[in-house]
A and B are shown apart, each in its own frame.
Chain A
């Protein structure tokens, strides 16, 4: 793959954000943002603007029954079914287990005033080698106010659940992960509404030491951060 530097990425960034970059250019751009937090933040910012353009698409009332037909289709078709057919027999089961652990962690921290992701463990999953359970850290504003929680579950790959309380400043939040060695990695951009928000992140690296998370507003001001003890 051709490596892309920041200057070349700058030329390709708008097309990436609009979803029209293709082939080797797209691969190179994605590879670049995976290792360059600045360009990743720029890509997220441009993607936010590109996303707003979708408001121009005229909404039309969907045909009656579409929602119920889809609900029935969802009940009959497991998520990831198409992809699973290409995989081994055992992988999907393990995948389901750590998804459920993330859901269980979400349920555990859902208290009054918080938004819960709505997933619940309905059966205790079998133990997974290397499972280190879950850890919770409080999200605090720079002034020390309680703004929410972050929960990490350590399964074969870790999940991170970020919960922002109702009443937090609304708008787009940029989420950064603080990892061992003092590095800070851009994770993604999320919208927070007056009722708060919650999002679940599948952490991209399996065994790194996650120290905490930081939420930053569009102007680069820290909104809240959390540190795992």
Chain B
């Protein structure tokens, strides 16, 4: 049984679109793809550094979201981070097949353009990104690196510990302190 492909009203939450996908509504699926494809493709490109592979990764990410939308649990994170986790896991598998060497964390961080926005970005997204960049810049550099490697590239505390050549406890502390400070900074920004 397939759902009718009627146009969807604007402003549906990610969760609502995902529920629609779980029920087989292709319209919900395409709206979901339209909303997230540039972010997913952007992350895939950053992770694998190849447009063709990134396209394959983005496509597979959305197919998996379509198949497994019903298993999404909002209590365990946002739809966007769930989607990015799928992309990261697929990228890890892809990189295992295509090359063995680990990605240099500095190369990863450089691609996030902590200093500059992407001119192709939507205005609202740019504003959001600028707020986050400003909050991240307010952290000590080691905390910036730790939280960004974790949030954007999915590196665990143990991996960050190895990459940064610091004790595991230090990596955990940097991640924890950074996220708590970012939360406070972003909440303060929202209040202004």
Contacts and interface: CB of A to CB of B under 8 A. Distances in A.
Contact of A83 (B14, B19, B68, B190): B68
A217 to B, nearest CB: 11
A58 B113 contact: yes
B94 interface: no
B152 A54 contact: yes
A120 B3 contact: yes
Interface string A153-188: 000000000000010000100000000000000111
Contacts of A69: 59
B166 interface: no
Contacts of A189: 74
Contact of A43 (B4, B23, B75, B133): B75
A171 B186 CA distance: 13
A56 B46 CA distance: 12
Nearest to A97: B1
Interface residues of B, number: 92
A57 B46 contact: yes
B94 to A, nearest CB: 17
Interface residues of A, number: 84
A103 B63 contact: no
A80 interface: yes
Contacts of B156: 15, 20-22
A60 B42 contact: yes
Q: Chain B CB within 10 Å — which of A80, A119, A198 has the most?
A: A119
A169 B93 CA distance: 42
Given A17-B179, A116-B9, A198-B13, A62 B38 contact: yes
Interface of A: 11, 14-22, 30, 33-34, 40, 43-63, 66-67, 69-71, 73-75, 77-83, 95-96, 99-100, 102-103, 115-120, 122-123, 166, 171, 186-202, 218
